[in-house]
Amino acid sequence: MQTDSVSLARQVEFVFRQLEGELTNATAGTVLIHIRNNAVGKFGVRHHPIESKNGQFENGDKGLTAAQVQAFKKMAIESLRYRREWTHGEILYDFSVRPSANSWSASILFESNYNMANWNLRYYPKKNDLWDSQ
């Protein structure tokens, strides 16, 4: 996928399409999307919890349905409206399913990253540049 001309919303849609099988029936977790230069660099899912009792894994409750995964994807794309003026960082979508209420919830965390090394060159010229100008 060439990300140069593809909007971030389109890239997030692609991410959720790729993760659809993993998200279906997942009871809780975090979808992680790493962004660099407004392009998705890597993505994945942290699944939690996987519980066991007495060394035996329990049959977990039902997780996200296919319809809920589609709603999750739509919510993730719409949440991009709240991202402001940064091009590098992470987006974390925490989700959980409440089987007793037959519902799910999600929270979104945006993290912007800046690299001081790039800024230092802008504000503090290299020593050689100082000598050349004299």
Q: Look at residue 105 and tell me whether its pLDDT is greater than 80.
A: yes
Position 133 confidence tier, pLDDT thresholds 50, 70, 90: low
Instruction: List the domain boundaries for the chain.
Output: 8-133
Q: Three-class SS string for the chain? A: CCCCCCCHHHHHHHHHHHHHHHHECCCEEEEEEEEECCEEEEEEEEECCCCEECCEECCCCCCECHHHHHHHHHHHHHHHHHCCCCCCEEEEEEEEEECCCCEEEEEEEEEECCCHHHHHHHHCCCHHHHHHHC
Position 119 confidence tier, pLDDT thresholds 50, 70, 90: low
Position 19 confidence tier, pLDDT thresholds 50, 70, 90: very high
Give percent above pLDDT 70 in the chain: 81
Average pLDDT, the chain: 86
